[in-house]
C-alpha cells in the first residue's frame, strides 16, 4: 500500500467455522485458507487486520451496516451481492453439493427429498439453491446459523440432507463428519473478498495486488496445499 494506507488497521468479518477456509486449530488459533491468505496479503501490502469471527450471515450484515471494513468468509461472488458489495478478484472456485448421512441409502437424488426436511445455513448460496428447488421436489428447509449445526441435524436424522459448498463438505467428510455426497455439484460462484460498494477501494486494491503477488511467488499454492490435498 501507499503511505496513506500503510499500517492502517482494517476490521474484517469472517465465519465462525467454515473449514478449510476459517476454523480454530487445536491451539485455538484462527487458521484456514481465507485467514492465511488475508494475513499474507496484509503483510505483503503493509496493512493490519483485526479479525472478527461473527458467522457468515452476521459478517455480511456487519459489512452492510459498516461495522466491519471487509468480509472474507468463503463468500461467493453473486450478481445479487454485487449490487451491494464490491468484490476482489476471485480466489477460489466453488459450487453447492448435497450431503446426506454416511449410512443413508435412501436419498440418492433430489427426487428422494419429497416430504422430507433439508438443513440449510442462513444467507448462503446453499440455502438459496435449496429454496429454489424445494417446491419442485416437495421438501421443506430447516435453517441454521452455522455449518456444524447443519451437519449435526443431518447426522441426528432430523434432516435427511443439507446443501453446502463442495470444498467445505469434502473437507468435513475427510475429517469424519459422518456425511457423504451423493449428487454432482451444482454450478457455483467463485469466492471473493468483499467491501461495501464504493467504499474501502484502497483496501480492495491492496487485496488484489497482494493476491497477485502471492500467486506469483507460489505462496498462494503453498497455502492451498496446506489445507487441501489433491
The answer to whether residue 51 forms part of the interface with ligand GLN (CB under 6 A) is no
Nearer to ligand GLN, 153 or 165 (CB): 165
Closest Cα partner for 12 from 81, 60, 84? 60
The answer to whether residue 125 forms part of the interface with ligand GLN (CB under 6 A) is yes
- Element at 128 (helix H, strand E): helix 125-137
- Element at 45 (helix H, strand E): helix 33-45
Give me the residue label for grid cell 497477485: 212
Burial of 20 (0-12, 13-18, 19+ CB in 10 A): buried
* Euclidean distance between CA atoms 5 and 158, whole angstroms: 50
The answer to whether residue 75 forms part of the interface with ligand GLN (CB under 6 A) is yes
The answer to whether residue 56 forms part of the interface with ligand GLN (CB under 6 A) is yes
Which residues inside 168-207 make contact with ligand GLN, applying CB under 6 A? none
Considering the complex, what minimum distance in angstroms separates the CB of residue 198 from ligand GLN?
21
Stretch that binds ligand GLN, among 5-13, 74-82, 155-163, 198-206 (CB under 6 A): 74-82
Residues that bind ligand GLN (CB under 6 A): 15, 18, 56, 73-76, 94, 121, 124-125, 165
Amino acid at each position: 500500500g501507499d503511505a496513506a494506507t500503510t499500517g492502517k488497521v482494517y476490521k474484517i468479518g469472517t465465519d465462525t467455522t467454515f473449514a478449510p477456509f476459517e476454523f480454530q486449530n487445536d491451539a485455538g488459533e484462527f487458521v484456514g485458507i481465507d485467514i492465511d491468505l488475508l494475513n499474507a496479503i496484509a503483510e505483503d501490502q503493509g496493512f493490519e487486520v483485526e479479525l472478527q469471527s461473527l458467522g457468515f450471515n452476521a459478517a455480511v450484515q456487519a459489512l452492510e451496516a459498516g461495522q466491519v471494513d471487509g468480509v472474507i468468509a468463503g463468500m461467493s461472488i453473486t450478481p445479487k451481492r454485487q449490487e451491494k458489495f464490491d468484490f476482489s478478484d476471485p480466489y477460489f472456485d466453488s459450487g453447492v453439493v448435497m450431503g446426506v448421512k454416511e449410512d443413508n441409502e435412501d436419498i440418492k437424488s433430489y427426487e428422494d427429498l419429497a416430504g422430507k426436511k433439508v438443513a440449510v445455513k442462513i444467507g448462503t448460496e446453499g440455502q438459496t439453491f435449496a429454496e429454489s428447488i424445494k417446491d419442485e421436489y416437495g421438501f421443506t428447509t430447516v435453517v441454521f446459523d452455522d455449518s456444524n449445526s447443519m451437519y449435526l441435524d443431518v447426522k441426528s436424522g432430523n434432516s435427511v440432507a443439507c446443501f453446502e459448498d463442495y470444498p467445505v463438505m469434502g473437507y468435513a467428510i475427510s475429517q469424519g463428519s459422518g456425511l457423504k455426497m451423493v449428487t454432482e455439484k451444482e454450478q457455483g460462484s467463485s469466492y471473493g473478498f468483499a467491501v461495501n460498494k464504493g467504499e474501502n477501494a484502497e483496501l480492495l486494491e491492496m487485496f488484489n495486488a497482494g493476491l497477485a503477488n502471492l500467486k506469483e511467488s507460489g505462496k498462494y499454492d503453498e497455502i492451498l496445499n496446506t489445507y487441501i490435498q489433491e
